[in-house]
Amino acid sequence: MTDNDSNRDYYACVNSYIKRFGDERDIDLAPLSDEGIAYVQRGSAVVSIHVLLDQGVLVLLSRIMPVPSQDREELFRTLLELSFLATGDAAFAIDGQSNEIYLRSLRQLEGLDYQEFEDLVHNTATIADEWDDKLRQQFGAIAEGAIAEQDSQATASSPRPDLKQARADDPSDHSSS
């Protein structure tokens, strides 16, 4: 099997999981784009699903909010504490280039089955939806109107920090293999 065959197989596999996930919830979900990105929304949270063939990983990201200029130490402590116990297979992360806080999950593509995919998407979307509004309210990063504008842009544009460094064997990753 060539690398191209393997890549097509991963895309086809994840697309079948996306379709099944949507069908089980009676929602229409678009398949992966040519760039390997699809989206799922739960409440106020938009989760982008990224297939990174070069790294051999599936990355799920949900933008939470920009890093505020005030109360940063308290925010960072809160994010670390939440990542320790409240986020399951996901963890909060900061994209240094955009200065945005994300909830992220990471899993190798090899051996990924539907139950793992469903669990990752469901948990990431549920946790992001639970915490995005709470964190925004507690740390007031930006005005409410700007948050709504950013959220609407998130589905129109690809919220994609530099994922070149994403690796399935990342020791900070809390996902199960």
**Quick one: pLDDT at residue 126?**
95
Residue identified by tokens 């639970």 is 130
Q: From the options 3.90.1010.20, 2.30.40.10, 3.40.50.11540, 3.30.1460.10, give the CATH code of 3-156.
A: 3.30.1460.10
pLDDT along the chain (177 residues), means of 10: 66 97 96 96 96 96 91 91 88 94 95 96 95 90 46 47 44 36
CB-based contacts of 14, cutoff 8 Å, min separation 6: 32, 38, 49, 51, 58, 109, 112, 117
Return d(Cα 174, Cα 28) in angstroms, integer.
29
